[in-house]
Amino acid sequence: MSVALQNMRFLIAEDNKQSAKLIEMLLRDLGSKDVVMAHNGTEAWDYINGESDMISENSPRKRPFDLIICDWNMPELTGFDLLKKIRREGFFMPFIMITGRGTVDSVINAMEAGVTEFLPKPFTPHQLTQKIFTILDSKETHG
């Protein structure tokens, strides 16, 4: 269990409920206590922007997410479009893009849009864990 992950807030944006649950279980196994799930890009955006039904009008806006783990192919708003919208609106939290698209163009487009890490499918829990800790290490060394 990682002390670093205990205080982090995660958003999983994945339309495949089984995949989303596996990612959530991994994060919880790593010590995270604050994991939010979105099953399409619009729902993810609502959480990021503080407009979700899960956040009541009377409560203060929840603190922003420390890390987003997002699938590229989702209904309503793709992961790629979500990433572009997040960056355009001035949100700069780390973003891991999960995708079956292994093309060079996809990787380049995601990098240009501001993706932090790129994780091709299929991936192992170990590979996702490595990406998360790479981001954590980078945040610690770069502020």
Q: What's the CATH code of the domain at 37?
A: 3.40.50.2300
Residue scoring higher pLDDT (104 or 21): 21
pLDDT of residue 60: 45
pLDDT of residue 106: 87
74, 99 Cβ separation under 8 angstroms: no
Q: What is the domain count for the chain?
A: 1
CA distance 111 to 126: 23
Residue scoring higher pLDDT (89 or 63): 89
Go through the chain and tell me how many residues it has.
143
- Tokens found for residue 43: 């729902």
Percent of the chain with pLDDT over 90: 69
pLDDT averaged over the chain?
88
32-54 pLDDT per residue, tens: 999 999 999 999 999 998 865 55
Which among 20, 100, 103 has a CA at the least distance from the CA of 10? 20
Domain that residue 17 falls in: 3-142
Residues 6+ apart with CB under 8 A from 102: 120
